[in-house]
Amino acid sequence: MTTTKTALITGASSGIGAVYADRLARRGYDLILVARNWQRLETVAQRIHSATGRRIKLVKADLAKPEESAKVEALLAEGAVDVLVNNAGFGGVTPLVDSDIARMTEMIDINVTALTRLTYAAVPAFLKKGNGTLINIASIVAVGPEILNGVYGGTKAYVLALTQSLQHEVGSKGIRVQAVLPGATATDFWDTAGLSHSALPSEIVMRTEDMVDAALAGLDAGEVVTIPPLQDGTAWDNYDAMRQQLSQQFGHHVPGSRYLPRAAA
């Protein structure tokens, strides 16, 4: 007798989250879908249920509000969720000096704080039962912060670093951890950020379905970091190997010679 597994997806009312919901349902998962927009969430759920017959629970929550995030954290802590897709978040395209600090703080609240709280609820439950999958949606700006708004890049660098650290801590304990780094993707993310994806060169914009399918293929292949638009995967392998090698050179009791006082001429 097989036991049906459950996936919880945040930001599931549109875009990447909605496609993850569809794809995981087709893989046999029941779903818990979380978003702020109830009407769009219902539309997604009805479409997926009609196509797959999977059971779907909806949770209306603004994850920037601790009391609403707590509702989702409680579901994760119960241990009935097998896959968490931390997808909720938004970005920005404006330079620092042109950005509203309240909006930037809200971005941190959702992209960093809420993701962290949900992760801290899910991972102990995964460890208790000896299995579970955590998928964190980051961005290519995690390694290229100059590309868009700096606060957005900073939040996604955090997501990447947290994921890599978790892989180090729990990857050998039956827990799957993955960071997905999309490039430009054809979603309403860009409208929220202040620039429609239709204004971007078409050759750099990936279909949402293609991005999610590639991300799941990366998960199946055991990747910790999946970058769907990166054509040569060995480029990332080399970059990450160099990063890890460099990190071994940071322990020393004296500064590098370039920082030592120079003798007077």
Q: Give 17: exposed, middle or buried? Use CB within 10 Å, 0-12, 13-18, 19+.
A: buried
Read off the pTM: 0.93
Catalytic residues: 152
Encoding tokens for residue 30? Answer: 């029941």
Query: What average pLDDT does the structure give for the chain?
Result: 93
Task: Render pLDDT for 139-182 as a digit per residue (tens, 0 to 9).
Answer: 999 999 999 899 999 999 999 999 999 999 999 999 999 999 99
Mean local confidence (pLDDT), 213-240: 97
Mean pLDDT of 96-106: 93
Domains and CATH numbers, the chain: 6-259 (3.40.50.720)
Q: What is the mean predicted confidence (pLDDT) over 244-263?
A: 93
> For residue 100, which phi and psi values (nearest 5 degrees)?
-80, 125
Q: Is the pLDDT of residue 235 over 70?
A: yes
For the record, the structure tokens of 159 come out as 């997501």
Residue 1 clears pLDDT 60, i.e. is over it: no
Residues 6+ apart with CB under 8 A from 154: 145
Mean pLDDT throughout 45-66? Answer: 97
Average pLDDT over every residue of 104-108: 96
